[in-house]
Chain A
Amino acid sequence: MSTTTIALLGQPNSGKSTLFNALTGLHQHVGNWPGKTVEKKEGSFAYKGSTYDVADLPGSYSMSANSDEEVITRDFIASGNADVVCILADSSQLERSLFMLADYAGIDAPCFLVLNMEDVAKEQGKTIDVASLEKKLGIPVMLFSATDTKAYDKFYTTLERALKAKSRIDVSALEEEYEKLEGYNEIKEQIHDNVIPGYTPMWLTVKYLENDKVVSAKLKSELSEDKVATIESLKGDNNGAIATGECKFKWIDELVEGTVKGKKKTIKLGKLDRIYTHRFWGKPAVVLTVVLGLLASFIPALPIMAVASVFDILKNFAGEALNSAGCSPFLIGLLCDVVIQSMSYVTKMLGFVFGVTLVFGLLEEVGVMARISYVFDNTMGKLGLQGKSVMPFLVSFGCTMGGAAGARVIDNWGQKILTIALAWAVPCGAAWATIPMLSTVFFGPAAPVVIIAVLIVMILHMWITAKIFGAKLINKEDRCGMIMELPPYHKPKWGALFRYVFGRTKDTFFRVVKVVLLVCLIFWLLSYGSGATDTSILYKVGTAIEPVTKFFGLPWQLFIAFIAASVGKEGAIGVITALYTGGSYGEGFAQAMSGAARAANLGDILLANVSRPEALAFIFAITFNMPCVVALAATYQEIHSVKWTARIALYYTLVSLALACAAYHIGLIIW
């Protein structure tokens, strides 16, 4: 069976992801390009008995060498990896969005043009003469809406046409424009065919004029010395890219002229945009949108989370049944506390992932995401991030795994990792259930001061972490402010959206189960044997290194609770209660994680055993510790890098201990 590879190329908001998802459905694989911090998305589908591989190319706006994404994209195409390239453009903004096609013209690979968003163009009263465009371009052109599932037959037939004809863009009219440029003809004469395979001399000349670093370097190494000297002398000032840009748009104007008919759109901001872009109300409006979205995401999430409680019931039931059957406690623990417990965590997490993916996907598809980027561009730019990074941060106040899953909307890998790394510093719902309680027990009326201190530390933490990780993760060229299109609002297509969300949730499930099982197993093994007479490794280590942890303000009981909190923050209180009342902390942890009620005399137990500086240390330690095992798994799922996940986890563990230490010693001075 033959396999054909299709590469998808298009600017942001051209509907590339929608097309990719619709074509490949659940057959997707996300990884990284070898040796690069750029995400690689591949998928496949079958049509008429043949398999088609689809590569969703990361190129952003053009085929220049301004980012790794763009270089990867054009190299992939030029080295013949794709049998055909599908170039996308937005029918409602044809003039601007055909730029990708103009920049592509001259790369020697078969292609066809898909004019997406037919529905939006229609709404705007635009009609597009596809036949005339096809004639001018010399490649198959089709008009459709990627969200319309019935339109795909048309896509397949156009694809087949392009494959059969191996169609390439007719560049004669474009080259006529280029020929008017000073030095163009002379430089092109020096560049023979196949100097760099896959690129025509025209394309190379244009890129050379544009000062394209990669092309210039390559030409210098491939051409003879005197030829290099000639082209060097012919190249004018540094503004070649402006002149070639003008040529490209002139060509586009000619293409569009007489092809697109319709009234010019009015350029007033809609009601919603007037609010989002408001100087003062913009930010509150965005925060409100995200919060409402999150609340709404609980509606589909709750049934999934309800399944998690079935696992909790199953766990108790299985435990009792196996116990009465005389099974060894080790096996029972392994099955109940590791396997079933992990499934319960993962199911709860899937509920979140499903809800957040749905809501964020919806905001993105509708066009609200671009507005959020606009509103928070300045603020997030200070951290080296995009405006939309604000969303995962807001979500993380509820749940860090939701924040990690929500970071998916960030299209730059380095910025995505940094966003998640910073989102970890945001105290999650479980921390918010613990901090105020502990603060009130120990500090009474001064509790709000502690909470404010936590928030201040959070901001400082994020700022410093952004400095530490940002230098490595984010290239200088990605640190620039936004130059971006705000797309018109679209009506969501629920079918396509749900298919995408289900796909992602399924994918997440298989990836995170391993991580959660592994971490739960390790934690369980470390704490196995805990009882009244404690024999667990964690106990032995905890008591042995107590002189050290005491310096950080953590007696061994609190240190073990701290370790337990990195598996799940909710469990920390259960562990403390158990340890100070002589119970089994493994059990205390499991019960607290399943939402068991707190001991009624918890306040007394704590006050009797823990000093105020120690309490302060513990509050900071668990607030800024690794959020939980599922957040860890969700992070790994999003960034698919063991190295970075481990690095972030280690960093947080160390920083939280350092913060605890500082809090403890400040506490010692105060009290």
Chain B
Amino acid sequence: MKMKLKELKENSIAVVKGLSGDSRFIGRITSIGLTPGCRISVIKNDKNRPILLYSRDTMISINRKECEGIEVEEVMA
């Protein structure tokens, strides 16, 4: 089931399904390693804080508004 990145709960594992946004956002998000098919795990998802996730060996923090354009699908660990 596809959902938005920020709807994921802490400690869940998901695969990036789609990215949408302006070219700045796409450029930026791919340059940090998030591309479709890439596996992520959510480390922290608190209100009013950027989302903290782990992907490609890297801890990444993403502003909540910027997360809007990231679509994911949860997978079982």
Q: Is A375 engaged at the interface, CB distance under 8 Å to the other chain?
A: yes
B31 touches A61 (CB 8 A): yes
Q: Is A269 engaged at the interface, CB distance under 8 Å to the other chain?
A: yes
Q: Report the minimum CB–CB distance from B29 to chain A (whole Å).
A: 6
B52 touches A374 (CB 8 A): yes
Q: Is A211 engaged at the interface, CB distance under 8 Å to the other chain?
A: yes
A482 touches B50 (CB 8 A): yes
A93 and B38 in contact, given A66-B24, A480-B24 (Cβ under 8 angstroms): no
Total interface residues on B, CB under 8 Å, equals 39
| A-B interface pairs (CB < 8 A), number | 142
A485 and B50 in contact, given A96-B56, A480-B25 (Cβ under 8 angstroms): no
A483 and B60 in contact, given A210-B23, A374-B52 (Cβ under 8 angstroms): yes
A374 touches B49 (CB 8 A): yes
B30 touches A241 (CB 8 A): yes
Docked complex Cα distance between A213 and B24 (Å): 11
- Give the nearest-CB partner of A280 in chain B: B46
A481 touches B19 (CB 8 A): no
Q: Is A62 engaged at the interface, CB distance under 8 Å to the other chain?
A: yes
**CB < 8 Å neighbour of B57 from A213, A265, A482, A483:** A265
A99 touches B31 (CB 8 A): yes
Mark contacts of B46-63 with chain A using CB atoms, 8 A cut-off: 1 yes-contact digit, 0 otherwise.
111110101111111111
A484 and B25 in contact, given A93-B56, A245-B35, A279-B49 (Cβ under 8 angstroms): no
B60 touches A267 (CB 8 A): no
Query: Which of B20, B31, B36, B49 has its CB near the most chain A CB atoms (within 10 A)?
Result: B31
B57 touches A96 (CB 8 A): yes
Q: Is A272 engaged at the interface, CB distance under 8 Å to the other chain?
A: no
B26 touches A242 (CB 8 A): yes
Main secondary structure, interface of B, reads: mixed
A242 and B23 in contact, given A378-B48, A486-B61 (Cβ under 8 angstroms): no
Mark contacts of A459-498 with chain B using CB atoms, 8 A cut-off: 1 yes-contact digit, 0 otherwise.
0000000000000000001001111111110000000000
List A contacts of B43 (CB < 8 A).
267, 269, 277
A483 and B63 in contact, given A267-B41, A277-B44 (Cβ under 8 angstroms): yes
Q: Is B66 engaged at the interface, CB distance under 8 Å to the other chain?
A: yes
B27 touches A485 (CB 8 A): no
A375 and B49 in contact, given A99-B31, A480-B25 (Cβ under 8 angstroms): yes
List A contacts of B63 (CB < 8 A).
377-378, 381, 480-483
Q: Is A233 engaged at the interface, CB distance under 8 Å to the other chain?
A: no
Docked complex Cα distance between A249 and B61 (Å): 20
A277 and B23 in contact, given A61-B32, A249-B35 (Cβ under 8 angstroms): no
Q: Report the minimum CB–CB distance from B14 to chain A (whole Å).
A: 14
A242 touches B61 (CB 8 A): no
A480 and B58 in contact, given A62-B31, A103-B31, A249-B35 (Cβ under 8 angstroms): no
Q: Is A64 engaged at the interface, CB distance under 8 Å to the other chain?
A: yes
Docked complex Cα distance between A248 and B26 (Å): 14
| Chain B contacts with A in 1-53, Cβ cutoff 8 A | 19-20, 23-33, 35-38, 41, 43-44, 46-50, 52
Docked complex Cα distance between A375 and B44 (Å): 12
B58 touches A93 (CB 8 A): yes
B23 touches A211 (CB 8 A): yes
**CB < 8 Å neighbour of B66 from A64, A100, A239, A483:** A483
- Give the nearest-CB partner of B52 in chain A: A277
Q: Is A28 engaged at the interface, CB distance under 8 Å to the other chain?
A: no
B32 touches A481 (CB 8 A): no
Interface size of A as a range: 35 or more
A485 touches B58 (CB 8 A): yes
Query: Which of B56, B57, B62 has its CB near the most chain A CB atoms (within 10 A)?
Result: B57
Q: Report the minimum CB–CB distance from B75 to chain A (whole Å).
A: 15
Docked complex Cα distance between A484 and B32 (Å): 7
List A contacts of B33 (CB < 8 A).
95-96, 99, 249
A374 touches B30 (CB 8 A): no
Q: Report the minimum CB–CB distance from B48 to chain A (whole Å).
A: 5
Query: Which of B49, B64, B65 has its CB near the most chain A CB atoms (within 10 A)?
Result: B49
List A contacts of B49 (CB < 8 A).
277, 279, 282, 374-375, 377-378
List A contacts of B36 (CB < 8 A).
242, 246
- Give the nearest-CB partner of B20 in chain A: A239
List A contacts of B32 (CB < 8 A).
61, 96, 99, 483-485
Q: Is A584 engaged at the interface, CB distance under 8 Å to the other chain?
A: no
Q: Report the minimum CB–CB distance from A249 to chain B (whole Å).
A: 5
List A contacts of B57 (CB < 8 A).
92-96, 264-265
List B contacts of A99 (CB < 8 A).
30-33
Q: Report the minimum CB–CB distance from A72 to chain B (whole Å).
A: 16
List B contacts of A238 (CB < 8 A).
23
B24 touches A239 (CB 8 A): no
A61 touches B28 (CB 8 A): yes
Q: List 21 A-B contacts (CB under 8 A).
A: A11-B31, A62-B28, A62-B31, A66-B23, A66-B27, A95-B33, A99-B30, A241-B23, A246-B35, A246-B36, A249-B35, A267-B59, A279-B46, A374-B61, A378-B49, A378-B64, A477-B24, A480-B63, A482-B62, A484-B61, A487-B59
B: residues with CB less than 8 A from A are 19-20, 23-33, 35-38, 41, 43-44, 46-50, 52, 54-66
Apart from A103-B31, A483-B60, what 4 extra A-B contacts exist at CB < 8 Å?
Answer: A61-B27, A277-B46, A374-B52, A481-B62
Going nearest first, the 10 A-B pairs with the smallest beta carbon separation are A481-B63, A245-B30, A61-B31, A96-B33, A62-B31, A241-B26, A64-B27, A486-B59, A96-B56, A267-B54
